[in-house]
């Protein structure tokens, strides 16, 4: 069982690194969206600093969302999903490996890039750890919840916009908590409590979402 | 406990018959309750000491908001019933209840906005309750859009059920986070619907309206479900006979 | 009765526009919710009648 | 009559408001080979997907060892090898990587076994070539190489002969027949006329049972 988990993780890693362009795309998108805002609202450093937490979070969220459409699509089209569903191994475990791979190569990569962009927006250096922590706790939720939507829409021809419609409302709590934590830090308020809230949200999603993803995949495969 | 009624309820034919008997009663009580509630609320309830007469909007806003939320929860419950017990009627209910819930959310949002104008001086204020309502509307849109996008009706019902369940788990989290967000950004504004103890003349119309809205929901849901059941069962003899009877009556 | 005259009732103490418009919008939406299924039913029955006629001709 | 391994009871399948077939009763016992035939759109693929538990019947049931497929998911999964239209081959992975993952979904296979299976389907020397550079027929062979590994008993194959050349078709026919002679079961669809038929061969024509 755990064997299948690691094997799938290895397989996903191989696939990712044989298409390095797709690995970079969300990161480039993330940077471009961030760069758009100073261009749109003006380079005033005070304003940029105030909106930087929200900006970073919205951009990260959109970058994850964009990468999610392809999460199960190729596996659906080439018949891999059918093989997973009929195999004797639990689908939940495979789903978990798949989402973990997505998070490692999309979510975690975004987290690593975020300090650079935060500094460009003028977020004070002492708040970078809070930013990192909030993204680190929040991006797994983005991957997991997004995978539920991706699983439900994988069989549809134009699933992309629908996926956004399904998932974005569900992203609201993590967006509020994630950017709110950084804003609280900027206002000099304590953040530990909210980070703990985020951690419990992540744990809750981690325990429940895989079952919803697996059920969604079964439905999409049966379609 | 005797479970036969539960399985009987799953039979489309039985549902069609029994719902036909309930429908007139539900419709009449919905119409009466809403009418009486509206008249009492508009004409007989005393004006609010702070907001004056604009508070009378509460008699639509609150029942609609209530119904909007409980409809979403009932979507998830019907979804679980459909997924676990494979009950076809529950599948039908999930997809037919969603648009009604969305309309109720629209009513709550519109009346909230109109109410906001005399109260806060703006049509839209990012108040915690209104924001949570707006998110609820988006959740409804998601379910409706997913149901329309999937052509296979069994898959569509199951997919909507899963989305509704995920959404229902999310609702308390959304509520909590929106409340927190509100205090973080604009501490302690007073919310329109939070009232100190209301006198009886004030809350009685509210109670009547709320029950009326629930009856209304039940009646409209049954109407919608009956059409869908006829459509889905169009291969069975009873549905064909029923359609023939209806055509004969309208001709 | 909390109003002395009908004109006062309509005015709602300067809040008439808001109260009456929100009641109006809401009732329109409620009626729409009743009308939609009725129309859908008639459309379905009409389609079925047409189909039955077509099949009878064959 | 002995108990069938796999059996359908009044099975019906409806797709997009269209009834493909109904009241279908089929029994498959160890050693059986069943060819499902019929015109396009008669529900061949749907039937195979119903039998492998990928789809749910509109009415009726599929029984595994006399019990509903819903209760027998584990039993079926352990004994089923399913090859769909798309067989789960990733173009970016090599033949060996593809095969070892697909094998791991069941019992797993050693490197030697995988190389042997690839040699059996005539892909010796292509083990470490990314599959997207292979021809359609060769890709099909990678998928079919699973049948040469330590495979489960029940094979459900959707159009296994597509894109194969004459020699490969003959070889696959022989292999399927052998599997049945050893007590395995094969259910498959094809438009191709089978030359090598075991004694237990049967054909189910959905074109006739359909409405």
Rounded (10°) CA dihedral B150, B155, B157, B158: -130
Ordered alpha helix ranges (H), chain A: 2-17, 20-41, 45-68, 73-77, 80-86, 91-102, 108-120, 128-153, 159-186, 192-222
- From the CA of D81, how many Å to the nearest CA of chain A? 8
CA nearest to D96 within chain A: A11
Which region among A55-64, A126-135, D41-50 has the lowest average model confidence (pLDDT)?
A: D41-50
pLDDT digits (tens, 9 = 90+) for B21-40: 999 999 999 999 999 999 99
Task: Give yes or no for residue B186 having a pLDDT over 70.
Answer: no
Q: Treating both helix axes as pointing N-terminal to C-terminal, what angle do A159-186 and B128-149 enclose, rounded to 10 degrees?
A: 160
Distance from CA of B141 to the nearest CA of D (A): 24
pLDDT by residue (tens digit) across A73-94?
A: 999 999 999 999 999 999 999 9
C57 touches chain B (CB under 8 A): no
Q: What is the model's pLDDT at position B187?
A: 46
Indicate the DSSP class of residue B46.
P
pLDDT at D94 over 60: yes
Is B151 at the interface with chain D, CB within 8 A? yes
Length of chain A: 223
* CATH number of the domain within which D150 lies: 3.40.50.300
Q: Which residue of A has its CA nearest to B149?
A: A156
The structural domains of chain C, with segments of one domain joined by +, span 6-57
Chain D nearest-CA distance from B226, in A, is: 18
Give the residue from chain D lying closest to B84, CA to CA: D70
Mutate to test the interface with A, among B98, B166, B186 (most CBs of A within 10 A): B166
pLDDT score, position B251: 60
State which residue of chain A sits closest to D78, comparing Cα positions: A88
Residues of D contacting chain A (CB within 8 angstroms): 49, 52-56, 74, 76-78, 80, 82, 84-93, 97, 101-102, 104-106, 108, 130
Q: Which two tokens stand for residue B197?
A: 């103890």
Asked if D15's CB is within 8 angstroms of B154's CB, the reply is no
ipTM field: 0.88
Chain A to chain D, count of Cβ pairs less than 8 Å apart?
70
Packed helices B12-39 and B237-250: angle between N→C axes, nearest 10 degrees: 50
- The residue of chain B nearest to residue D19, with distances taken between CA atoms, is B235
Q: In the numeric block, which tokens belong to residue A187? A: 């206002």
Let me know if residue D1 belongs to a domain.
no
pLDDT tens track for B233-249: 888 888 888 888 888 87
The domain locations on chain A are 2-222
- Domains in chain D: how many in total? 1
In B, which residues are within 8 Å of D54 by CB distance? none
Which residue from D120, D123, D129, D127 is spatially nearest to D150, judged by alpha carbons? D120
Residue D110 confidence (pLDDT): 86
pTM: 0.91
pLDDT in tens, D58-87: 888 888 888 888 888 888 888 999 998 888
Q: What are the pLDDT digits (tens) for B160-171?
A: 999 999 999 999
Query: How far apart are the CA of B197 and the nearest CA of chain A, in angstroms?
Result: 32
Q: Which domain holds residue D16?
A: 6-209
- Contacts with A, B 141-160, CB within 8 Å: 141-142, 145-146, 149-150, 152, 155, 158-159
**What pLDDT score was predicted for residue D2?**
61
Is the Cβ of C12 closer than 8 Å to some Cβ of chain B?
Answer: yes
Which residues of D are less than 8 Å from A82 in CB distance? 54, 82, 84, 86, 88
Give the tens place of pLDDT for each residue, A159-191: 788 999 999 999 999 999 999 999 999 988 888
**What integer pLDDT is reported at residue B61 of this predicted model?**
92
D18 shares contact with chain B (CB less than 8 Å): no
> Is pLDDT above 80 for B7?
no
């Amino acid at each position: 069982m755990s064997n299948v988990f690691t094997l799938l993780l290895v397989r996903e890693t191989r696939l990712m690194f044989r298409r390095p362009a797709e690995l970079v795309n969300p990161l480039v998108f993330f940077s471009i969206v961030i760069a758009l805002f100073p261009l749109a609202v003006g380079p005033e450093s005070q304003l940029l600093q105030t909106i930087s937490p929200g900006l970073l979070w919205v951009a990260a969220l959109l970058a994850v969302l964009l990468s999610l459409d392809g999460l199960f699509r190729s596996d659906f089209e080439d018949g891999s999903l059918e093989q997973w569903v009929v195999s004797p191994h639990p689908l939940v475990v495979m789903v978990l490996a798949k989402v973990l791979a997505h998070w490692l190569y999309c979510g975690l990569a975004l987290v690593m890039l975020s300090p650079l962009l935060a500094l460009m927006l003028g977020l004070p250096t002492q708040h970078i750890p809070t930013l990192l922590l909030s993204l680190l706790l929040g991006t797994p939720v983005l991957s997991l919840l997004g995978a539920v939507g991706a699983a439900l829409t994988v069989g549809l021809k134009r699933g992309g916009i629908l996926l956004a419609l399904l998932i974005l409302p569900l992203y609201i709590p993590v967006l509020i908590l994630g950017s709110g934590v950084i804003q609280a830090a900027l206002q000099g308020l304590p953040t530990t409590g909210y980070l703990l809230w985020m951690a419990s949200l992540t744990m809750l999603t981690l325990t429940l979402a895989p079952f919803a993803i697996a059920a969604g995949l079964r439905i999409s495969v049966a379609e | 406990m005797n479970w036969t009624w539960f399985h009987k309820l799953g039979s489309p034919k039985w549902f069609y018959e029994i719902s036909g008997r309930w429908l007139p009663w539900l419709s009449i009580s919905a119409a009466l309750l809403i009418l009486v509630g509206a008249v009492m609320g508009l004409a007989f309830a005393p004006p609010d000491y702070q907001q004056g007469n604009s508070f009378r909007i509460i008699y639509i806003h609150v029942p609609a908001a209530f119904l909007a939320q409980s409809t979403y929860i009932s979507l998830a419950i019907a979804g679980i019933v459909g997924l676990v017990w494979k009950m076809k009627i529950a599948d039908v209910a999930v997809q037919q209840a969603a648009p009604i819930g969305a309309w109720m959310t629209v009513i709550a949002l519109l009346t909230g906005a109109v109410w906001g104008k005399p109260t806060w001086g703006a049509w839209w204020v990012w108040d915690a309750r209104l924001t949570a309502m707006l998110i609820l509307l988006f959740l409804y849109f998601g379910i409706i859009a997913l149901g329309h996008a999937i052509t296979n009706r069994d898959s569509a019902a199951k997919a909507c059920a899963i989305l509704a369940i995920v959404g229902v788990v999310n609702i308390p989290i959304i509520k909590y986070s929106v409340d927190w967000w509100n205090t973080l950004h604009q501490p302690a504004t007073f919310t329109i619907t939070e009232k100190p103890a209301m006198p009886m003349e004030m809350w009685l119309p509210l109670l009547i309206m709320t029950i009326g809205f629930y009856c209304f929901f039940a009646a409209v849901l049954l109407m919608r479900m009956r059409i869908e059941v006829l459509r889905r069962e169009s291969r069975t003899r009873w549905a064909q006979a029923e359609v023939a009877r209806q055509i004969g009556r309208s001709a | 009765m909390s109003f002395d005259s009908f004109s006062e009732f309509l005015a709602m103490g300067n809040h008439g526009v808001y109260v009456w418009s929100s009641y109006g919008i809401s009732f329109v939406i409620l009626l729409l919710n009743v009308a939609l299924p009725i129309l859908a039913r008639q459309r379905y029955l009409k389609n079925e009648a047409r189909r039955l006629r077509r099949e009878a001709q064959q | 009559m002995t108990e069938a391994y796999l059996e359908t009871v009044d099975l019906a399948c409806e797709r997009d408001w269209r009834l493909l077939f109904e009241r279908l009763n089929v029994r498959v016992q160890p050693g059986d080979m069943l060819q499902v035939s019929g015109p396009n759109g008669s529900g061949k693929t749907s039937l195979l997907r119903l039998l492998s538990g990928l789809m749910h019947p509109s009415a009726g049931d599929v029984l595994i060892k006399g019990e509903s497929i819903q209760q027998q998911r584990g039993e079926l999964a352990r004994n089923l090898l399913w090859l769909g239209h798309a067989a789960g081959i990733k173009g970016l992975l090599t033949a060996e990587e593809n095969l070892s993952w697909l094998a791991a979904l069941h019992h797993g296979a050693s490197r030697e076994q995988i190389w042997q299976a690839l040699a059996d389907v005539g892909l010796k020397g292509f083990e470490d070539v990314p599959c997207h550079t292979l021809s359609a027929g060769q890709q099909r062979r990678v998928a079919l190489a699973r049948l040469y590994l330590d495979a489960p008993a029940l094979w459900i194959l959707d159009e296994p002969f597509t894109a194969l050349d004459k020699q490969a078709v003959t070889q696959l026919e022989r292999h399927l027949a052998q599997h049945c002679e050893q007590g395995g079961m094969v259910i498959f669809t094809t438009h191709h006329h089978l030359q090598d038929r075991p004694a237990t061969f049967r054909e189910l024509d959905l074109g006739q049972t359909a409405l």
